[in-house]
Amino acid sequence: MSAIWTELEERHRATSARRIASLFDDPDRFDRFSTETDDLLLDISKTNIDDEALALLISLADSAGLADRRDAMFRGDKINMAENRAVLHTALRSPETAPLVVDGVDVRPAVTETLDRMERFARAVRSGDVTAQNGAIFTDVINIGIGGSDLGPVMATLALAPYHDGPNVHFLSNVDGAHAHDILKRLNPETTLVIVASKTFTTIETMTNAGTVLDWLRAGIGTDIGAHLAAVSTARDRTAAMGIAEERVFGFADWVGGRYSLWGPVGLPIMLAIGPENFRALLAGGHAMDRHFQTAEARQNLPVLMALVGIWHRNICGYGSRAVLPYDQRLSRLPAYLQQLDMESNGKSVAMDGSRLERSAGPVVWGEPGTNGQHAFYQLLHQGTDVVPAEFLIAAESHEPGLQAHHDLLKANCLAQSEALMLGRSFKQALQIAEQLGFGGEARKRQAAHRSFPGNRPSITLAYPKLTPFVLGQIIALYEHRVFVEGVIWGINSFDQWGVELGKELANGLLPMVQGADPAGKDGSTRGLLHKLSA
């Protein structure tokens, strides 16, 4: 593998002076460097990757054993070695029936049974067959969860707003009491269903918020609150201890990682919002991407290509971050969702065997929807000292046919940004502009310096017909597999998250000090801040 890395670095050295725009002297470049699957088109042509670089990147993935690792994941092997767990979120969206065995048990029947139970429950809540304690239909649902038990449902519910015909869904995640307060003050406990979503059912934020919301329910409707509760968890003993009836608990197995969990019971709020049929279409989209990932040749394989672009930019070009820029307001939480998916999976510096990684791994992922971002941080994307590879997402068709002019503008802006990043504006062109504006002499040069754009900044674009549940399912699964492929190439375990533990432990120790205990043994800064923060 190291020989391929060296060849890639050499290829980069040999081509880094080249302008990306010059690659379009090849009239077929777009056709050869863009790929379509069911609904998605991925365009990687506006990068400096050429045939030679792509061939090397593909051999890198091959030599990392990508096909074997992929098959091992889908087969249910315990590829999350650090936790001795299989990684089978793909089973949650699979209609296949052939046995899928983990620890001697075929997992398919339980997946089907849980999905059917979720569906029955969601239908009954939506129709009013399952009602509040006083017989009223539930108008609102609060999902209490954080991280993977929040971000996926938040992102998908917003993305699929045009399909939202069920109760209003509110997401309570932050332990900051302001979050609970601001949600609860708008709601009526008599018509509110509460889902406590936590894989472990130990997460302090979720348990604290659940305690507050259960108290709010009791204050509003009395002690008999069972009709207003449901839970999503792998820990049935703990859901029982919270008083949530067995039939209101939707369980899943430890082979579903938190950030990969929206396809199963964690997706219950999505199902309540958009209905079981649309939820199943989301699953079908995810499964379609699974099939594509498993069967397409590397050069036509969207997750593989997206990952290889990621590797090229991170490791070969040395770019430390990537911007996710959905030109789709309803994907405004996609960057936040991807921050967990990507950075909690691949934000690591240790290989599977515990040795230090020889190369950089996961980049910083960030972003905001276009066009808003254009009026905020795009200045840095175009003229900043660091290059940030951009990832654009855009639909051919909107859900608002009556507002076509808006969508035309949205598309024009999206295309303009990737074009501007690539082309830039030369000093010579900027001099002409300055002259037209009436600047002369040194002022003209100064103006031109400020008004020129280096260009040659890479971007990729993901285009889709319309943001339907099926398309969204494909997009999410595409990113999941992209993260997986990058993790395989970096040689890391993308499915554990030890990096979140230390802060949790220290917070437990600090709580008594926040409440007045002696901060003995703490550093000067922490002691000083504790003093300043004592109310």
Ligand X SMILES: O=P(O)(O)OC[C@H]1O[C@](O)(CO)[C@@H](O)[C@@H]1O
Catalytic residue numbers?
Answer: 344, 375, 504
Distance CA 307, CA 302 (A): 8
Q: Is 245 in the site for ligand X (CB under 6 A)?
A: no
Q: Is 200 in the site for ligand X (CB under 6 A)?
A: yes
In this structure, the number of other CB atoms found within 10 A of the CB of residue 136 comes to 12
Amino acid at 80: N
Chain position carrying tokens 């009602």: 131
Bridge partner residues of 391 (DSSP): 324, 460
Least distance (Å) between residue 148 CB and ligand X = 3
Q: How are beta strands 192-197 and 321-327 bridged, if at all?
A: unpaired
Q: Of these, 101, 500, 507, 529, which contacts ligand X (CB under 6 A)?
A: 500
Nearer to ligand X, 101 or 500 (CB): 500
The pair phi, psi for residue 178, each rounded to 5°, is -60, -35
With CB under 6 A, what is the number of residues at the site for ligand X?
14
Q: Of these, 147, 347, 424, 469, which contacts ligand X (CB under 6 A)?
A: 147
Nearer to ligand X, 45 or 497 (CB): 497
Q: Is 497 in the site for ligand X (CB under 6 A)?
A: yes
Nearer to ligand X, 151 or 472 (CB): 151
Cis ω on the peptide bond leading into residue 371 (within 30° of 0)?
yes
- Comparing CA positions, the residue from 13, 50, 16, 24 lying closest to residue 423 is 24
The site string for ligand X over 248-267 (x = CB under 6 A, - otherwise) reads ----------xx--------
Q: Is 148 in the site for ligand X (CB under 6 A)?
A: yes
Distance CA 140, CA 125 (A): 10
Nearer to ligand X, 148 or 424 (CB): 148
Nearer to ligand X, 242 or 433 (CB): 242
Distance CA 34, CA 354 (A): 37
Q: Is 206 in the site for ligand X (CB under 6 A)?
A: yes
- Comparing CA positions, the residue from 116, 207, 122 lying closest to residue 166 is 122
Least distance (Å) between residue 203 CB and ligand X = 3
The site string for ligand X over 90-129 (x = CB under 6 A, - otherwise) reads ----------------------------------------
Chain center to CA of 155: 8
Decide: 243 and 226 in contact? Cβ < 8 Å: yes
User: According to CB under 6 A, which residues from 307 to 366 bind ligand X?
Assistant: 344
Stretch that binds ligand X, among 144-152, 216-224, 348-356, 372-380 (CB under 6 A): 144-152
Q: Of these, 149, 212, 239, 456, which contacts ligand X (CB under 6 A)?
A: 149
The dihedral over CA atoms of 131, 136, 138, 139, expressed in degrees to the nearest 10, equals 170
Q: Is 199 in the site for ligand X (CB under 6 A)?
A: yes
Q: In what order do the strands lie in the sheet with 140-144?
A: 168-172, 140-144, 192-197, 229-233, 249-251
Least distance (Å) between residue 22 CB and ligand X = 44
Chain residues in the site for ligand X (CB under 6 A): 146-149, 198-200, 203, 206, 258-259, 344, 497, 500
